[in-house]
Structure 1
């Protein structure tokens, strides 16, 4: 399906959770001299305008990144705050980076990025801001299967589908298991929504069973962004989490709980 566009949801509470963990993980990878690969299966357009009609219609950014910044969740030395500041310096004060531009902030000469996006308009917009990466207009799972294990071998894969295709909940644990076997040293992160009917719960359990000990499961809950909105939280499952990521997950859990 190609109907999903993240412009309506950019900067929401789930993005705050997901992107904080992503930024901390990437900062850890970039903290070592060895080069690394960043890959993403569902990249979106990479850059969002929080004053655009789509964002204004839902108000999700006001309940997400705007509120988090107002409440001081991210000090100036936090990796997400640094990536956000770099994006706004380059593109304007009302912009918000999707995961590709968060990754861009941490990539160095010698590091490599692969971004997959199948939606034609989203891919075209991504091409305007992601000249630093290898772009793939194809199914992201096919891309990941083709490039793993990557060169450089160190690195991170973000799996972040829209879950509009409900079969994703059933097939993602198997996909993740196969990719983890191909790339046993890679950081593999899977984001998923927490929904009112808990349809994600079986997938989360199966991911834990597939990955075994050492994986990180981070879940936070928050009020629906508006009446009738089905998402009540955000989950991030990480295989081979970098040192310190569990501490950030615990910090975010406390903030969201409060």
Structure 2
């Protein structure tokens, strides 16, 4: 367990989908003159080097964020572009922000952040770049259950597990339902991979039945290389901020051209 390391996959097409939606949602929260809390159950290391041997080995960043920048998939002024520019100004041209540093770009002094990461090596790197947040070397679901509803009460929770624990697909609808009951004003975003065997389908069906007003954004794309298992990316968002549905629709059109 806990073998997954995102350095091999950072900046891939799934990250592009997920992070474009996340940055848009956070920019909407930050646009209002009210404090908010950002929470993340599986934060990873927070900062990635797309020039690393791990990134070169898979080539996923080249097919993802690098191609997106070359071909203009993100319009000028997009929140993800501003977060990426800030991180590269601070850490170099090959840097890529994980969700914690994307959140950092939009957080203000009045806002709060809580990040959980249980992988020891990933947590150690996260601690070196996420001094702005409360770090939790603990199970992310336990952290979320303990802190929700947070202070400030307005905010966003990102649930982004690796799914290396097979039981996650079965238990996530119950976890999300419990958190949504405790935090009825919170934005709760759950990311999941789309795989050829459609193992995600039962979870998504239960989630959409439980939360019929939630935004569901699911896109498909070619496998990164022959035999690669992931063929799409999904995000379900409870209480989506205004404008997020428009971004989901725009992304759907972008990804439809890749099929």
Aligned pairs for 1:16-165 within 5 A: 16-165=16-165
1:217 aligned to 2:251? no
| Cα deviation code 1:147-205 (max 9, x no counterpart) | 00000000000000000111100000000000000000000000000001000011011
* Corresponding residue of 1:6: 6
Kindly state the Cα deviation for residue 73 of structure 1 after the two structures are TM-superposed: 1.1
Q: With structure 2 as the length reference, what TM-score do the two structures score?
A: 0.99
TM-score if structure 1 supplies the norm length? 0.99
Other-structure match for 2:231? 232
Note the residue ranges of structure 2 that are not aligned, 5 or more in a row.
none
Aligned residues between the structures: 257
Give me the whole-angstrom Cα distance separating, in 2, the residues matched to 1:211 and 1:125. 35
- Contact in 2 for aligned 1:76/1:82 (Cα 8 Å): no
Match of 2:241 in 1: 242
**What are the within-5 Å matches in structure 2 for residues 142-221 of structure 1?**
142-212=142-212, 214-221=213-220
Does structure 2 conserve the Cα–Cα contact (< 8 Å) formed by 1:185 and 1:240? yes
Q: In the TM superposition, what is the alpha-carbon distance from 1:211 to its structure 2 partner?
A: 1.2
SS state at 2:38 partner: strand
Cα deviation, residue 209, structure 1: 1.0
The runs of 5 or more residues in structure 1 that have no matched partner are: none
SS in 2 for 1:226: coil
* Structure 1 segments of 4+ aligned residues over 3 angstroms from their partners: none
CA root-mean-square deviation = 0.5
Q: CA deviation at 1:76?
A: 3.1
Shift of 1:220: 0.3
